[in-house]
Each structure stands twice: as C-alpha cells, then as structure tokens.
C-alpha cells in the first residue's frame, strides 16, 4: 500500500470499458482545475481500436482507444491509474491484468458484487506489489484541484459548490460514494474544503481500508485534519482504532460510524452496502463510535453534530496557525453541451437534415405517420410502403397493386441486357454484392431503363397541348429527339411486349381514366406506320399509365404531378425493380462459382 499522495495535477488514467459521461466529467473537472493535459490518456475497449471524440474545455480532442490493457499501458507509460468500469463478471480479471502491468499503481473498481474470493486475490496481489486498489463498489476518489476518478463528486455544479476545483486542508475517507458527495459539501461549508477524498467501496472486502487511507493522509503535509465516515458491519474501523492507539496518526481525526438506528430493529438489518450488516455487538455503529472516541478521535453524539465537530476542529487548527487560509478564485466556466443547452431552452440551433417521410423517435418507426405495426397488422404490401415513403400518402389499393405489378414485371429481363451484363462481369471479378449491384445500376439511363420519366414528361406535354400523334412525333423528329417510350430492339408490331399488354389490361380494368395511355397507343399506331420495331415499350407503358394513376386518383395536384415527374420518381420505380434482378444475377454467378469474365476476341472488330 502506498504511504503518501496517490494523485497529482499531472496524473493520467486509463479508462476500461468506454463510458462517455464519466470520462467527459473527468475532462470537465480537468478544465475546471486548470490542468494542461487531460487526465484520461487512453480508453480500453476490448475488441476495438481507434479514437473517441470528447471535449477538453471548448476544444474537441481525440482520445486513443486500445483493444487490450497491455497495448494501452505500452502506449501510455505515464498513465498509472486504471479506472475499471467493467461489469462485476469481468472486473476481477481485468483488474488483475492491470495490476500486473508495471506502469499501473492504482486500480479503481467501480462494479458492485465482484466475487469475494476474486477480491481477496486482488488485495493480496496489490499489497504484495505495493499497489492500491480502490473498491469494488466504489465511486472512486478525488484530489481537489488535480484529479478525479469517473463520476466522483457528481456534477460540475456540485464540484463548484464543494470547492473541489482547488485543494483544501482536509483528508476524507468513507465507505459510501453517495455519502462522500454529501460530506464534500458539509466539509466545504465549515472548512477550506478537502485536499483528497476516497470512497473505499461498500463491499465486504474493500481493496483498501479506512485506516490505509488515514495513515496515508497523515503522511501528506498539505492535509491538516482527517474526516472519516464509517458504517456498521465489519471491523475495518478497528484497524483505525489500533492505528490511533499506536500513535501512527498525529493529525486530528473527526469520525462518525453510521447505522446507529440498527438497534431500533428487532431483527438484523441489511443496509445498502454488502458490508453494511452488523454481525454482533462489536460491529455495531455504537461500539465502533465508542472505540474511536476512546482511541482519541473526535466523535460527535450524532450524525447531525458531525458538521459542528468538523468546524470546531478546523477552527482550532486555524487559530493555532496550522492552517493558512486558502485564496479563493472563480473557476473557469465549463462550456455547456449543445444538447443540454437546447433542452434547457438556452440556445436554438438549426437542424442539418429535414425529413418528412419517416420518423424513428417514438416506440416504433413510422412511415408518413403510419406506425410500422399498423402496416403489418393491416396486411399492407410493398406498394403501400412505396406510396407512404415516396408519395407521403396512402394510395388506393389499385394504385399500390399497379406499383407492385411494375416492380414484378421490371425485376429482370435476362442476362444479356447491359445492366445485368455489367453486374455479372463484376460478380465474376470477385466483387461483393453492393459493388456488383451498383455496377448494373449505373448502366440505367436514357438508353436502358431510364426513359420512364422522359416518356411521361413528353406524353403529358403533348396530350395537354392537344397535339395529334402526327404533330407530336414530327416535332420530336425536327428537334432530333427520339420519342421516349417508343421502340424496342427485339419486339415488333406483330410481337408485342407481353409486359406492356399486362399493364394495359390492368389499367383498363381498374383505373378511373386511361387518357394518357390511350394517347400513347395512338402515338404507337403512328410510329408503327414508319417502322415495325417502333412499338410502345415497357418504359412508355409505365410512364403513360403513371400519369393516369396520378391524375385519375384525384390525390395529386397538377403541380405535384409535374414535380413527381421532374424529380425522377418513375425512374426510381425501375431502379427499385431492377435491383431485385441484379441482386439475383450476383447470387447466381457466385453460386455457380463462375470465373473471371474475359470477352472473346473474335467478338471484337479490330480496325484502324
């Protein structure tokens, strides 16, 4: 066990098992105390490496993350405190690993409920190697104005209230972390504040004892008096009694052992800590208080009188000139986190993204205001989901059925079309699913599957301007523009695309109006008179029928329809549908274990 000061203004720690809030509180305390370097040198998160972004005052810093204790200790040889936020299941093993590192001098174990046999092994190893264990079941400890462990002393407001941003003259040790916060406040009210405070933890076997720290405080010149808060159960306080009797402590000690109310109960009472249970008269609070009083400690008659006893002891030292009054100063203001400031209404900040189609902030995601559970319970399909996420409204069933038919009909068109070919070549090159899919999708454009929007745009413009098919086709010809949605490399007037026929049949059966589709058919009749392959293709069929869906449903304004076409909604339908086929081709090639594709040279015209 160390015999003097554990921490200083240059102490750095390694933090095990990343927890954002306690680390940020440590860094905020550093800034409050005017430290030049952050007290957290590195973070250990088993299995992960990199950096974690946190704030040191107003500056954002990156703290290294290491996957093992050994790697962290090697990277930060000056960090001699190990703060262990592991669960009770793994806290002992990780603490022992830390104790075995030559650079680590102090290990703080936050977890409660660490197996007692494991704790005993940790204690034995630490004592044999002159190291300090604080905990288990501890909030940690603090050296005022220099260093603190994790959540010790709570919020910044509480730290300022307790004057912990600068050193005082009192050494304090307690079993309870919660009561430590209370006592820091009490001590600050009637003295110049604490110099160092330790909560040894409430388990039956603490890594270090009350007397260990009291004796250590006795060796620190800056500490002029010591305050001890014990509790019923166990016999730890008696080691302090023996130290007092043997003259090992020559500074005033003010002590109180909580739990005097236990005698009011007829049966044995287990208080909050595992060790807070009286196992006989000697372990009672009354017996411990009496023994401490007889050994020379200042012990008040009640907890309520503890503050007065501390004040009297401090005032006496002040009168004797043993304590020099501390110069007070105003600590720097800790910048408030943006989220906290927004919640408190102190600031307003612009958002970075606007979303109107979905919301994941509640108990379940909502699509255009419709909870996901409702979508499932009502048996809605993919078409309904598209209507919510794309069009922000629930379209009639015939509309969503049409969307689903379009997806099914456009999912694939064989391995020879350019998109599928690109995907197959990419998959055979050993690329992953996303790369293979994107390779095919990037082929979609004016010449392959990307003409739906243009077909809808031109058909709508011509129909709305009352152009005859002849006027429309000839005007496009004069502009040098092919009519989108007309023409096919394989299909002919006497060999129509079955997909087009299925779409037209569905629309004639279910749509209130098919005026745009009928206009497209009239255009097809005229173009077929010019060439037998200038048939209405699937792009033209979907484009014209989507116009009928949008206008005939009565759910969209003219402005909304124009916007839908301009943005590219209809091409989105082809992209969504064809992704299904492209993914299928990727899986097919990988399942067949096809080798790298090389185009045959005899299929290339080599010319000058």
CA distance 431 to 433: 7
Confidence check: pLDDT of 248 > 50: yes
pLDDT of residue 3: 76
CB-CB neighbours of 591 under 10 Å: 8
pLDDT of residue 266: 52
User: What 8-state DSSP symbol labels residue 192?
Assistant: S
CA distance 436 to 430: 9
pLDDT of residue 236: 87
pLDDT of residue 259: 82
Does an H or E element contain 521, and which? helix 515-528
Lowest mean pLDDT among 51-65, 267-281, 304-318, 431-445: 267-281
CA distance 395 to 391: 8
| Over residues 478-506, mean pLDDT | 91
Q: Pick the residue with more confidence: 448 or 251?
A: 251
CA distance 33 to 10: 11
- The secondary structure of 406-439, three-state, reads HHHHHCCCCCCCHHHHHHHHHHHCCCCHHHHHHH
CA distance 6 to 119: 21
CA distance 294 to 245: 9
Helix (H, G, I), strand (E, B) or coil at 83: strand
pLDDT of residue 273: 45
Catalytically annotated residue among 213, 273, 488, 585: 273
pLDDT of residue 263: 56
Percent of the chain with pLDDT over 70: 96
CA distance 579 to 423: 10
* Torsion, Cα of 374, 377, 383, 385 (10° steps): 30
Strand ranges across the sheet with 106-109: 50-56, 59-66, 40-44, 13-16, 81-84, 106-109, 132-134
Nearest of 139, 237, 137 to residue 181 by alpha carbon:
139
Cβ atoms of 115 and 203 within 8 Å: the answer is: no
Tokens of 256: 């109180």
Strand ranges across the sheet with 358-359: 358-359, 366-367, 370-371
Percent of the chain with pLDDT over 90: 83
Q: Residues 436-457, buried b or exposed e (16+ Cβ, 10 A)?
A: bbebbbebbeeebbbbbbbbbb
For the entire predicted model, the pTM comes to 0.71
Q: Is the preceding omega at residue 542 within 30 degrees of 0, hence cis?
A: no
Lowest mean pLDDT among 176-180, 266-270, 368-372, 549-553: 266-270
pLDDT of residue 552: 94
Nearest of 136, 140, 118, 129 to residue 22 by alpha carbon:
140
Tokens of 243: 């130290």
| Catalytic status, residue 488 | no
Average pLDDT, the chain: 93
Strand ranges across the sheet with 170-174: 147-148, 140-143, 194-199, 170-174, 225-231, 253-258
pLDDT of residue 447: 78
Does an H or E element contain 50, and which? strand 50-56
Confidence of residue 276 (pLDDT cuts 50, 70, 90): very low
Nearest of 189, 198, 267, 266 to residue 230 by alpha carbon:
198
Nearest of 400, 405, 379 to residue 505 by alpha carbon:
405
pLDDT of residue 568: 87
| Over residues 402-411, mean pLDDT | 94
Quick: pLDDT tens for 98-142: 999 999 999 999 999 999 999 999 999 999 999 999 999 999 999
Helix (H, G, I), strand (E, B) or coil at 370: strand
What are the C-alpha distances in Å from 435 to residues 293, 439, 572, 573? 78, 6, 19, 21
Helix (H, G, I), strand (E, B) or coil at 359: strand
| Over residues 483-510, mean pLDDT | 92
For helices 569-591 and 418-428, angle between their N-to-C axes, nearest 10 degrees:
40
CA distance 190 to 142: 19
């Amino acid at each position: 066990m160390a015999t003097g000061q554990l921490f200083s203004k240059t102490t750095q720690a390694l933090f095990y098992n990343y927890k954002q809030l306690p680390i940020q509180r440590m860094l905020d305390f550093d800034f409050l105390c005017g430290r030049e370097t952050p007290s957290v040198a590195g973070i250990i998160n088993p299995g992960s490496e990199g950096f974690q972004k946190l704030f040191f005052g107003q500056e954002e810093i990156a703290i290294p993350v290491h996957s093992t204790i050994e790697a962290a200790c090697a990277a930060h040889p000056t960090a001699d405190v190990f703060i262990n936020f592991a669960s009770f299941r793994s806290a002992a093993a990780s603490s022992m690993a830390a104790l075995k590192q030559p650079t680590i001098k102090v290990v703080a174990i936050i977890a409660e409920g660490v197996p007692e046999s494991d704790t005993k092994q940790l204690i034995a190893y630490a004592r044999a190697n002159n190291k300090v264990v604080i905990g288990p079941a501890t909030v940690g400890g603090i050296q005022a104005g220099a260093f603190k462990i994790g959540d010790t002393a709570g919020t910044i407001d509480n730290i300022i209230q307790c004057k912990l941003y600068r050193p005082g003259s009192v050494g304090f040790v307690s079993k309870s972390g919660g009561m430590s916060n209370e006592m820091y406040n009490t001590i600050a009210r009637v003295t110049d504040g604490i110099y160092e405070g330790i909560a040894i933890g409430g388990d039956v076997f603490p890594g270090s004892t009350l007397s260990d720290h009291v004796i250590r405080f006795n060796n620190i010149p800056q500490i002029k008096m010591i305050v001890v808060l014990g509790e019923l159960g166990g016999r730890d306080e008696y080691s302090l009694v023996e130290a007092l009797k043997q003259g090992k402590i020559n500074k005033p000690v003010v002590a109180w052992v909580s739990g005097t109310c236990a005698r009011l109960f007829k049966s044995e009472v287990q208080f909050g800590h595992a060790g807070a249970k009286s196992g006989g008269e000697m372990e009672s609070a009354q017996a411990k208080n009496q023994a401490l009083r007889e050994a020379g400690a200042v012990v008040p008659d009640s907890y309520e009188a503890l503050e007065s006893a501390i004040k009297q002891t401090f005032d006496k030292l002040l009168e004797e000139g043993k304590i020099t009054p501390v110069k007070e100063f105003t600590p720097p203001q800790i910048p408030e986190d943006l989220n906290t400031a927004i919640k408190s209404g102190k600031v307003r900040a612009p958002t970075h993204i606007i979303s109107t189609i979905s919301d994941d902030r509640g108990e379940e995601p909502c699509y255009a205001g419709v909870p996901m559970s409702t979508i499932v319970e009502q048996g809605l399909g993919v078409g309904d989901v598209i209507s919510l996420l794309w069009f922000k409204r629930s379209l009639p069933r015939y509309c969503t059925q049409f969307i689903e038919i379009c997806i099914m009909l456009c999912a694939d068109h064989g391995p020879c079309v350019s998109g599928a070919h690109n995907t197959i070549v990419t998959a055979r090159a050993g690329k992953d699913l996303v790369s293979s899919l994107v390779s095919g999708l990037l082929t979609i454009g004016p010449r392959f599957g990307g003409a739906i929007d243009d077909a809808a745009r031109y058909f709508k413009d011509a129909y709305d301007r009352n152009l005859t098919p002849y006027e429309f086709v000839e005007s496009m010809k004069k502009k040098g523009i092919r009519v989108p949605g007309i023409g096919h490399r394989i299909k002919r007037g006497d060999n129509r695309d079955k997909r087009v026929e299925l779409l037209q049949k569905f629309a004639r059966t279910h749509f209130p109006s098919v005026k745009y589709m009928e206009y497209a058919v009239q255009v097809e009749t005229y173009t077929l008179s010019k060439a037998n392959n200038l048939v209405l293709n699937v792009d033209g069929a979907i484009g014209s029928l989507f116009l009928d869906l949008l206008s005939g449903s009565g759910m969209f304004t003219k402005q909304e329809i124009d916007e839908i076409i301009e943005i590219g909604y209809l091409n989105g339908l082809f992209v969504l549908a064809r992704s299904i086929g492209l993914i299928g081709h990727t899986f097919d090639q990988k399942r067949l274990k096809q080798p790298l594709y090389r185009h045959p040279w005899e299929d290339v015209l080599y010319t000058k």
